[in-house]
Structure 1
Amino acid sequence: MSSQTYTAQDFKSDQYVRWCPGCGDFAILNSIYKAMAELGVDPSQTAVISGIGCSSRLTYYMNTYGFHTIHGRAAAVATGVKSANPDLTVWQFTGDGDCLAIGGNHFIHAVRRNIDINIVLHNNEIYGLTKGQYSPTSKKGLITKSSPFGTIERPFRPAELTFGARGTFFARTIDVDTKGSTDVMGAAAKHKGTSVVEVLQNCVIFNDGAHKEISSKEARAEKTITLEQGKPMLFGKDNEKGLMLDGFNLKVVTLGENGITEKDILVHDATTEDNTLHLKLANMTGPDMPVAMGVIRNFATSTYNDELVQQIEEVQAKSKIKTFDDLLKSLDSWEI
């Protein structure tokens, strides 16, 4: 961290921002500017990596190091950047197609390794740049250019993939909630290990209204729950509803009914190694269940890059080979 104070302007490049008017990417970009300014990491110590897609244009709009890579390969490049220069703060911006289709293998292995990078997954449930084909997160039945009669595929849920790959950090936000997005991106950057932030994003051209059930302030109050570490899981306009366990399942209850008080409500703990409850929170579905927002999982453990550096130092300390000449002389050789 630098002792210097930064503003969002310090992280803006001089490039004109080119997305469709009304695209959720604008809000995500503004959130990351604010998050980076609040983190206080110098732009010269920051690298932004992206793949291919509308979201991946974000690299051009950052006054940081950047690499606009090829389709699906951002996680591989980000892993290399962090491994080669562990002091850099490395961000990966990617879409649901770029990350979870052609890039799915790189994604799960970056998460499994727990490399210290921050993956921001723009999830608009559609391929936008290639003009409206269904993506790995498109809802079953969605009519698109590549599924004119409705897709018959079941979608990925990013949280399930992250937890299945033994992910240590998962958070969710929505593009229109810039403060919430800024907060979770800041938390992601402070986490040591692979951080995955799913941003529910609107595509005004090819999948407008994908998240309309929760996009308005009124809907977010009633149909989402913002999880906070160490606090009861309350939601609703007046925090009058909460979550409790019913056997192995979560259920919504109303304070005051059947003698239920705030003391009966589950308290959020994102830091536990056991991700059973984290997964249940991330995957809540049904007409009465809220969509979980905020930091859902934040478990601390060793990182790939730290262990890599440690291993290299240990091997070097024990090795008799200190120079290139030492290496050559250690091999079989013949005089001709």
Structure 2
Amino acid sequence: MTGGIRVGTDLGLTAHTHVPHTDEPQKPKDYTSPQEVRWCPGCGDYVILATVRSVLPQLGIKRENVVFVSGIGCSSRFPYYLETYGVHSIHGRAPTLATGLAVSRPDLSVWVVTGDGDSLSIGGNHLIHALRRNVNMRILMFDNRIYGLTKGQYSPTSESGKVTKSTPMGSLDAPFNPLSLAVGAEATFVGRAVDSDRAGLTEVLLAAARHRGTAFVQILQDCPIFNDGSFDALRKDGAEDRLVHVTHGNPIVFGVDDQWCVVRSGFGLRVAATPDTAAEDIVVHDAYTDDPEYAYALSRLSTHDLTYTVTGVLRAVARDTYDDGVRAQIAEARREKPADLQALLNGSNTWSV
């Protein structure tokens, strides 16, 4: 166990087994690049950046073996602001580049930083296959429910009826539930945090960092220019009655005085009043169950109007990783049939055109 979250796989490996470690103490400033941070004042990305800088020193790995890969969007400036290696890639393709790095360089701690538009629109296919394959990397999706860098168009997570520059009469789309999407793609780690909850964000990021496999984290963050106040319901008075924070092994109760709880309802879950519920009927959170139906039901408890929003680690299960499997196949092929380039050139697999 690490921080209450099981790490490793059936192979007995941890997230950074092959990554060089250091005994020298590290501080957040060690991960702070000299680049000027250029986000709009009040952007939630500042808090996420500060939190990541505080998490990385706790991993005890060498800075030169950490790499952040981003796509396109406000969030994708992230690699410039960290004193690690970074790749600012192309729109939606960050998981693809990160997969190549994870497969070819097991000595790297690979992170993907993306936005709701970058990852769920043009990058949707790349995202779900990275989750399905269980590549050893972390995917942090900054979700502000808007296209910020291109000046305020609706995104795949914008609520129905959203009035933006691209939907002046209101969006007709039904938005994605990113956690449901991740569970449906068989992601081995699924978590969510809110940018204003520094402690909760740190908890989820640390657990994701230590998980071997694809760790998907949705971070709800404010865009003060084009979607200001979109998550105010989770920050202001009454937020305690909306935020359903889950911790493995604990009953799911929430509210100022834990007056609300989660119970089973048919094939799903629902919120009930704690005083009216028998203690044995309150769901005890199990992030380690290999049954994805429970994690999916938990993700569906969240509502897009923020009546309820589940945070914490929903799912953290062990499964062999894609990159470990690829390297094992290569090693086996080399043992069984050593490479002979000349024999390959002289081989019979030729054709005429």
Work out whether the TM-score is over 0.5.
yes
2:140 to 85, 102, 120: 120
The answer to whether the 8 A contact 1:162-1:196 is kept is: yes
The amino acid of 1:306's aligned partner reads: D
Post-superposition CA distance 1:42-82 (Å, at most 9, x none): 21110000001000001100111100011111111111111
Distance 1:332 1:127 in 2: 49
Structure 2 vs 1, CA of residues 289 and 53 (structure 1 numbering), >3 Å: closer, same or farther? closer
The answer to whether the 8 A contact 2:161-2:170 is kept is: yes
Structure 2 vs 1, CA of residues 330 and 115 (structure 1 numbering), >3 Å: closer, same or farther? same
Once the two structures are superposed, the pairs formed by residues 203-242 of structure 1 within 5 Å of their partners are 203-216=223-236, 218-242=237-261
With structure 1 as the length reference, what TM-score do the two structures score? 0.93
The answer to whether the 8 A contact 1:252-1:289 is kept is: no
Distance 1:215 1:312 in 2: 50
1:292 to 2:338 alignment: no
What residue number does 1:265 align with?
Answer: 282
The amino acid of 1:242's aligned partner reads: C
What residue number does 1:17 align with?
Answer: 37
1:4 to 24, 30, 37: 24
Distance 1:252 1:165 in 2: 26
Unaligned runs of 5+ in 1: none
1:55 to 2:43 alignment: no
Once the two structures are superposed, the pairs formed by residues 267-286 of structure 1 within 5 Å of their partners are 267-285=284-302
Distance 2:270 2:178 in 1: 22
Post-superposition CA distance 1:230-287 (Å, at most 9, x none): 1111111122321111332322233333xx3544311111111211121111121468
Unaligned runs of 5+ in 2: 1-20
1:110 to 108, 125, 130: 130
3-state SS of 2:269 partner? strand
Deviation for aligned residue 1:86: 1.4
Once the two structures are superposed, the pairs formed by residues 146-157 of structure 1 within 5 Å of their partners are 146-157=166-177
Deviation for aligned residue 1:215: 2.2
Post-superposition CA distance 1:272-305 (Å, at most 9, x none): 1211121111121468963110000111100000
Structure 2 vs 1, CA of residues 288 and 249 (structure 1 numbering), >3 Å: closer, same or farther? farther
The amino acid of 1:35's aligned partner reads: V
Deviation for aligned residue 1:35: 1.3
Distance 1:84 1:198 in 2: 27
The amino acid of 1:135's aligned partner reads: S
Distance 1:85 1:106 in 2: 20
Query: How many pairs does the alignment contain?
Result: 329
Q: How well do the aligned residues superpose, as a CA RMSD in angstroms? A: 1.9
Post-superposition CA distance 1:288-327 (Å, at most 9, x none): 96311000011110000011111111111111x3453454
Structure 2 vs 1, CA of residues 118 and 254 (structure 1 numbering), >3 Å: closer, same or farther? same
1:246 to 262, 265, 270: 265
Structure 2 vs 1, CA of residues 261 and 37 (structure 1 numbering), >3 Å: closer, same or farther? farther
Post-superposition CA distance 1:194-219 (Å, at most 9, x none): 11100011100001111111123x44
The answer to whether the 8 A contact 2:184-2:296 is kept is: no
Structure 2 vs 1, CA of residues 113 and 288 (structure 1 numbering), >3 Å: closer, same or farther? closer
Structure 2 vs 1, CA of residues 11 and 79 (structure 1 numbering), >3 Å: closer, same or farther? same
1:161 to 2:185 alignment: no
The answer to whether the 8 A contact 1:242-1:255 is kept is: yes
Post-superposition CA distance 1:160-181 (Å, at most 9, x none): 2212211111100011111211
3-state SS of 2:168 partner? coil
3-state SS of 2:50 partner? helix
The answer to whether the 8 A contact 1:252-1:288 is kept is: no
Post-superposition CA distance 1:73-119 (Å, at most 9, x none): 11111111111101211000000011111111111111111111100
With structure 2 as the length reference, what TM-score do the two structures score? 0.89
Distance 1:176 1:201 in 2: 8
Distance 1:159 1:58 in 2: 22
The answer to whether the 8 A contact 2:73-2:118 is kept is: yes
Higher relative contact order (CA 8 A, sep 6+): 2
